[in-house]
Amino acid sequence: MDSGEPRFACRIHITRTIICIMMSLRSIFRTMTTLAPQAKKQKLHKLIGTHNGTFHCDEALAVFLLRQTNTYRDSDVKRSRDPAVLETCDIVVDVGAVYDEAKQLFDHHQRGFTEVFGHGFETKLSSAGLVYKHFGKEVIANKTQLPAEDPKVQTLWLKMYKEFIEAIDAIDNGISQYPSDIQPKYKSRTDLSSRVASLNPRWNQPTSPEILDAQFSKASLLTGEEFLGKLDSYATAWLPARDLLISSIESSKQTDPTGKILVFDQFLPWKEHLFELEKESGVADSDKAIYVVYPDDGGSWRIQAVPVTSESFDSRKALPEAWRGLRDDTLSAASGIEGCVFVHASGFIGGNKTKEGAMKLAQAALAM
């Protein structure tokens, strides 16, 4: 028995050694399988750099827009002001004091920076405007599934800058919306830039790089959701109205060859498109549309005077003063046209029960 005990102990030792080796191999295998996806991610995903600390609307949106491009889709974000850290990034926005497209550096804080969007816009760009200027068309093409060379992409690109991006550029660069000698009668604290600013920790709340990074992610998502919401509205509602207006202008010539009365079979947002089309076509002032006739939701028809500009309250030719403020039979008697409903006191719009009646109002108003 005594001679067998060493053999038995030896076997136990060997078994334990084999178990330890197997456990070590399993641990190594697990480590390799864990690191493999990370290595793959580091290889495939690019890194976007921006500054740390308090964040603003412009870089929050810039980061979101970059993540909608083919090159920087789903990229990680590194927030730092350390030049050594920023040098490891594939693209840097809103920090670094350099604007160089070739090097993918997009800051606007440096002395001498005067870049603007162009195309008639003169507002100094922020990092949002810089990124949008260079990557905006790609983002729009991706989201609308239109070819990048489609003219509609260009139209939406300009529209989104005018209606969404330019204000962010102006606010970040401290450009007043009002002349310096005019004080606004009220304050607005619900604009996108203010909502992004409110996501920063308050002065008396705890803060840390981790907290700021988490809040920045929320801010970037907030700006992106609003950007995409606007883009969807313009792409699916505003832009189709342009094509409908073009066809309506052509068909209106059958009832009014002069082109001064436009007839729509349904209501559509026409003002801005009309002014742009007139400008593009070089229409003379004497040949421009004066009235628009279209159905309303209640089954009646409206006649609306074309304004001087798309946002003006003044009309190219308001409805006759003698009709203004009158309604129903009183208006029908004054105009000599049956079925009248009303004419607004300012003369910018009126109504009749039928399409024929509305057309007669427009024709009579032109002649007066």
Are 346 and 318 in contact by the 8 Å Cβ rule? The answer is: yes
Report yes or no on 18 lying in a domain. Answer: no
Domain identity same for 212 and 306: no
Domain identity same for 228 and 110: yes
Are 332 and 279 in contact by the 8 Å Cβ rule? The answer is: no
Q: Which residues contact 147 (CB under 8 A, 6 or more apart)?
A: 141, 153
Domain identity same for 346 and 216: no
Rounded distance between C-alpha atoms, residue 255 and residue 271, angstroms = 21
Which pTM was predicted?
A: 0.80
Domain identity same for 145 and 59: yes
Domain identity same for 219 and 290: no
Report yes or no on 24 lying in a domain. Answer: no
Domain identity same for 125 and 75: yes
Domain identity same for 307 and 261: yes
| Angstrom distances, CA of residue 297 to CA of 167, 327, 356 | 34, 19, 17
Residues across the chain: 368
- Which three-class secondary structure state does DSSP give residue 181? coil
Domain identity same for 149 and 272: no
Per-residue pLDDT tens listing for the chain (368 residues): 454 555 545 555 555 655 555 555 555 555 555 544 444 444 468 999 999 999 999 999 999 999 999 999 989 999 999 999 999 999 999 999 999 999 999 999 999 999 999 999 999 999 999 999 999 999 999 999 999 999 999 999 999 999 999 999 999 999 988 877 677 777 777 799 999 999 999 999 999 999 999 999 999 999 999 999 999 999 999 999 999 999 999 999 999 999 999 999 999 999 999 999 999 999 999 999 999 999 999 999 999 999 999 888 899 999 999 999 999 999 999 999 999 999 999 999 999 999 999 999 999 999 99
